[in-house]
A and B are shown apart, each in its own frame.
Chain A
Amino acid sequence: MEAIASPITDTQESIQTPVLINGSQALMKALIAEGVDTIFGYPGGAIMPVYDALYDYQEQINHILVRHEQGASHAAEGYARVSGRVGVCLATSGPGATNLVTGIADALIDSTPIVCLVGQVAKRLLGTDAFQEADIMGVTMPITKWNYQITSADEVPEIISKAFYIAKSGRPGPVLIDITKSAQLELMTQPFEYECCQSLVSYRPRLTPKKEQIEAAAKLINNAKRPYIFAGHGVQIAHAEQELIAFAEKTGIPVATTLLGQSTISTDHPLYVGWLGMHGNYGANVMTDEADVIIAIGMRFDDRVTGDASRYIKQAKIVHIEIDPSEIDKIIRADAPVVGDAKEALQALLPLVYANDHTVWRNEFRKFDTIEHDTITLPALTNPEGKIRMAEVIDTLSQKTKGEAILVTDVGQHQMMASRYYQFRRPNSLVTSGGMGTMGFALPAAFGAQVGAPDRDVVAIIGDGCFQMTIQELGTIVQNKQPVKIIILNNNFLGMVRQWQQLFHERRYSFVELQNPDFITIAKGFGMDGMTCDGRENLSGALDTMLAHEGPFLLEVIVEKEENVFPMVPAGATVSQIRLS
């Protein structure tokens, strides 16, 4: 601009009166101060000022346009889960905000740190049923760790710093910030200043466990004859994988994981005995009834793990290491509760526990492994007839990727098969919707995971039903050139529901058969390459093609229509009533 065009001597003026920015610009600066470099979002009327500000910050903040806000919240989850950072999503008011809800609920129950920023109608319109006004504060209150409505620009820095602090500290979880359009537009009355929140008066997660608690836990562990470790998602959230392994190796205690705890410890580690729960491993489940001390770390005794909780591990003393005090005694009474961060707790325990090897006890698990291998695994992997089995696909993928990929799964039989047959070698490699069991999770979450871990191979394992819940995110993947590999295990059924109908409802297959579209044509329509594999002899080649492909790739594998996932603990049964067929 020419000097004459601005009659006021700009420079002098700005030295005296600092430039005041509006709420949207403040939001950008706050996000940058929090180290945010990626946002998953979708614009609309009530968030337009923020999008306008974003236009100036494209260099610092990579905004990814999803195709549906549910995709944004799941992508933020996937991003958060693999990167260990906070996932951020942005949406407009009303329908934009309500579309985020499924991902928010999912993030709460799986302790995933995301911050959702949503637009809201102008302050003067609040509560008037204005266009695209939804009471998203009321809607998300029970499914957020914290939520807050910003109604003035001045609140932005403090509230955003609180939002990030709350989302990522203690037991991580989703935070929703509702920002009125007026707050986005109005100028701050103060110059922008930002300080990252470090603590809050009313919210003080305990990281360092109490000494007495550690000592009590160590005593129980040292006196145990048949101790058993359950490692949950909390171990990975705390980045305590090394500590867990050191602890297990020193004490010689076998380790099982929960579904979300999968990949915490390499599946070929001699102390690893499998995973727990409804479709977990035979030995891992049955042996819970034999242990005398159970050391539960960062897990919450979900009913999919315990079966009938009233008849669960009555014989054992429980050491429960958990950062969220409200989880202690919630389902299972702990004899030695340890409130604190898993990493700190394990570090504190390590010098207090005796070296041991528990060989006899550990070997007891192996006879169950043999049974499981002979009755389930081997037949699933070496069946020369019929259609391809899900197990074979996962097993072959596992070999070809050497167990080093990040697996993102959707919900259903394919999810359980992926968890069963993939041989995880690296930590933080299974991203799945555990607590909510949200169909439609995998495609956007895999995309988010690939953005969060650009150097790793990300493979999504998705059922034909689940895929159609968020199929439109193929467009996001293509537009952003993320090399996500997608495998659809197509059985033309809502397989998991069909399995239950078969086993518990006399094969009354009520509304579980799908008429599917041509997935490859759809992928191609979005600009993604893909192929179908319908024969066992082509499976290996198809997986090679997919893995060698540079960009994203969709591989559809036609699998056995009526395959079942075993072992299985029927709902309401005890874990030792686990069925092999």
Chain B
Amino acid sequence: MITYTICIFTQNTIGLLNRITIIFTRRRLNIESLTVSETERKGVSRFTIVIKSESREEVEKLVRQIRKIVEVMAVFGYLNDEIVFNEIALFKIATPLGAKSLDVETINKQYKAWVVYWGLDYVVIEKTGSEDDIFGFFEYLKQYEILEFVRSGRVAVGKTEKGLVEYLPEAEWAYYL
């Protein structure tokens, strides 16, 4: 299975998420993660959808199918080495009296993670990184009691010189994959 990151630039309209995800559903592709936000251009949203697929051809077809949606301005499919990408995870760790104390130095220096909130008997640690980084850190934290763990979808930018949004008006569906 190869991981693909699909970036979709759309006009920001109601119901679009639905229209996009239907295409994955119809083609029986499972969405690993999904992130949506507005881009630097007002009214233009960016969807970042991660899927795993065995066939590049299937992914190409999917991209073209998404491109058909009237509100979609451009779609790009990337392999991992074509993008810079990250996820963010929050860990809520129990710190009751008398429990093993957190090794904040290791957390900061070795795992590049930060305590972002101190509760009465818990802390919240934030870690950004790839899926592997985050699960590596998860393993490390298992020695403590993890009360909650949440991971965001992937965010990604392509490794091209200009921001892809710049190309939107001329964007050609086929030649970016």
Q: Which residues of B contact A324 (CB under 8 A)?
A: 68
Q: Does A368 have its Cβ within 8 Å of any Cβ on chain B?
A: no
List the B residue with the shortest CB-CB distance to A327: B64
Q: Does B11 have its Cβ within 8 Å of any Cβ on chain A?
A: yes
Q: Does A329 have its Cβ within 8 Å of any Cβ on chain B?
A: yes
Whether B60 contacts A329 by the Cβ 8 Å rule is yes
1/0 per position for A124-142, CB-CB distance to B under 8 A? Answer: 0000000000000110011
Q: Whole-angstrom distance from the CB of A209 to the nearest CB of chain B?
A: 13
Identify A145's interface contact among B10, B18, B22, B70, CB under 8 A: B70
> Which of A60-68, A199-207, A460-468, A550-558 lies at the binding interface?
A199-207
Whether B70 contacts A325 by the Cβ 8 Å rule is no
Whether B22 contacts A325 by the Cβ 8 Å rule is no
1/0 per position for B51-75, CB-CB distance to A under 8 A? Answer: 0000001001100110110111100
Whether A326 contacts B70 by the Cβ 8 Å rule is no
Which positions 156-193 of chain A face chain B at CB distance < 8 Å? Answer: 166
CA distance A144 to B18 in the complex (A): 13
Main secondary structure of the interface of B (DSSP, over half): helix
Whether B61 contacts A329 by the Cβ 8 Å rule is yes
1/0 per position for B156-177, CB-CB distance to A under 8 A? Answer: 0000000000000100011000
List the A residue with the shortest CB-CB distance to B43: A201
Known contacts A138-B18, A326-B64; A202 and B70 CB within 8 A of each other: yes
Known contacts A201-B11, A202-B10; A141 and B70 CB within 8 A of each other: no
List the A residue with the shortest CB-CB distance to B60: A329
Q: Does A146 have its Cβ within 8 Å of any Cβ on chain B?
A: yes
Whether B65 contacts A202 by the Cβ 8 Å rule is no
Whether B70 contacts A200 by the Cβ 8 Å rule is yes
Q: Whole-angstrom distance from the CB of A162 to the nearest CB of chain B?
A: 9
Whether B70 contacts A166 by the Cβ 8 Å rule is yes
Q: Whole-angstrom distance from the CB of A148 to the nearest CB of chain B?
A: 8
Q: Does B100 have its Cβ within 8 Å of any Cβ on chain A?
A: no
List the A residue with the shortest CB-CB distance to B10: A202
Q: Does A330 have its Cβ within 8 Å of any Cβ on chain B?
A: yes
Q: Which residues of A contact B174 (CB under 8 A)?
A: 325
Q: Does B15 have its Cβ within 8 Å of any Cβ on chain A?
A: yes
Whether A141 contacts B22 by the Cβ 8 Å rule is yes
List the B residue with the shortest CB-CB distance to A138: B18
List the A residue with the shortest CB-CB distance to B57: A329
CA distance A138 to B21 in the complex (A): 12
CA distance A146 to B174 in the complex (A): 22
> Can you give 7 A-B contacts (C-beta < 8 A)?
A142-B22, A146-B70, A149-B14, A201-B11, A325-B64, A326-B64, A326-B65
Ordered nearest first, which 5 A-B pairs have the shortest CB separation?
Answer: A326-B64, A202-B73, A146-B70, A203-B70, A142-B22
